[in-house]
Structure 1
Amino acid sequence: MEKYNFTYEIDEHLHEFSYLSERKCANTNMDDRKAWVTAYWEKMDYQHRDADDAESFEDLYVRVQAFHEKLKALTENYDQKNLAVFSHGQFLQLLMMQIQQPQPLSKELMQQFRYNLVNQPIRNTEFFTY
């Protein structure tokens, strides 16, 4: 970073969507969690929180909206230079959906988000331009 005079910032909004309780998931594997994952997505309740150490879809939406507003405010600063954002797939999935077609928080948005996660997942090291 120093060699090329890059600067960086860690943004509080950029972290993975933890919709299952980390305490409950400790010392489990994917097979153990499969029923919990299925139950979460079948519920399709954007305000549902698995536990006090988990996020609701609404929490993710609020984080994505806040970060999207920050990006829009920074646009002029990056007309002549680049800004790189590194984050997690689920966060980026909702961010890209909101950039391409902004939608209010709803059950339908949550359903579309899940559909996109399953059928059009963001791959590791994938990049986008904004």
Structure 2
Amino acid sequence: MSKEIWLIRHGESAANAGLPTKDAVSVPLTEKGWQQAREMAAKFTVAPDLIVTSPYLRARQTAEATADRFPNSPFETWQVQEFTYLSPVRCANTTVEQRRPLVDAYWKTCDPALIEGPGAESFGQMLDRVRGAARRIGASEASRIVIFTHGHIMQAWRLLADNPAGSDLTDMRRFLTAFQARPIENCEWLSGDAYRKVARS
């Protein structure tokens, strides 16, 4: 069965706007983010067969506008939340700029098995979550699926789709370069039609 898959990054969040945030889970949208969510919802000309969101607040809030427009479309939460590679314990109530030294140190290690601290996950674990989402798409009876997720997840999807035979180590080496060279903006969408490649990677 042919499927049409949209992966959509959440709208502008408080963290994106440079504000301190308590943790990765509860970061809300800004007013600009809410407007972006409404504009995204207006782009759909056909109701999705399934609306999926990450459990993180900013993604759920972004998904609400589309769910409100299509109230008969099933709405599910999947484990497509942002890649939490820094320990939330260390990063509570900090801004993106304050976390930058920790971010740089993490990526410099280039160890896909590294778990940086309590509540963090490894790069390899994040890739496994992305593969799991692709397998779930394949198993779904829905043909038009909209997934509200996060930038790192979408970058990982793109990497796995482009090079399904890569290892976690080679993917990690390519990941940061790809992320910086082709950033995914708030409410940008990416086709997920290559889900079979991602699932097999």
TM-score range for the pair, normalised by the shorter chain length: 0.7 to 0.9
Q: Structure 2: which 5+ residue stretches go unaligned?
A: 1-66, 194-201
Q: CA deviation at 1:85?
A: 0.8
Give the structure 1 partner of residue 99 of structure 2.
33
Give the structure 2 partner of residue 97 of structure 1.
159
Match of 2:188 among 111, 126, 130: 126
Paired residues in the alignment total: 125
Give the structure 2 partner of residue 7 of structure 1.
74
If each structure's strand is expressed as a fraction of its own residues, which one has the higher value?
A: 2
Taking a change above 3 Å as real, the CA distance of residues 27 and 2 of structure 1, as seen in their structure-2 partners, is closer
Q: Structure 1: which 5+ residue stretches go unaligned?
A: none
Amino acid at match of 1:60: M
Say if 2:132 is the partner of 1:109: no
Percent of residue pairs identical: 29
Say if 2:133 is the partner of 1:67: yes
Taking a change above 3 Å as real, the CA distance of residues 70 and 41 of structure 1, as seen in their structure-2 partners, is same
Tell me how far apart the structure 2 counterparts of residues 3 and 91 of structure 1 sit (CA, whole Å): 25
Moved more, 106-115 or 16-25: 106-115
TM-score under structure 2 length normalisation: 0.57
If each structure's helix is expressed as a fraction of its own residues, which one has the higher value?
A: 1
Q: Runs of at least 4 residues of structure 1 off by over 3 A?
A: 1-4
Structure 2 SS opposite 1:128: strand
Amino acid at match of 1:121: P
Amino acid at match of 1:37: V
Amino acid at match of 1:111: R
Q: CA deviation at 1:3?
A: 6.2
Taking a change above 3 Å as real, the CA distance of residues 117 and 7 of structure 1, as seen in their structure-2 partners, is same
Amino acid at match of 1:31: E
TM-score under structure 1 length normalisation: 0.85
Taking a change above 3 Å as real, the CA distance of residues 115 and 26 of structure 1, as seen in their structure-2 partners, is same
Give deviations 1:52-75, integer Å, cap 9, x for gaps.
21111011011011111112233x
Taking only aligned residues, the RMSD between alpha carbons, in angstroms, comes to: 1.8
Taking a change above 3 Å as real, the CA distance of residues 29 and 128 of structure 1, as seen in their structure-2 partners, is closer
Give the structure 1 partner of residue 84 of structure 2.
18
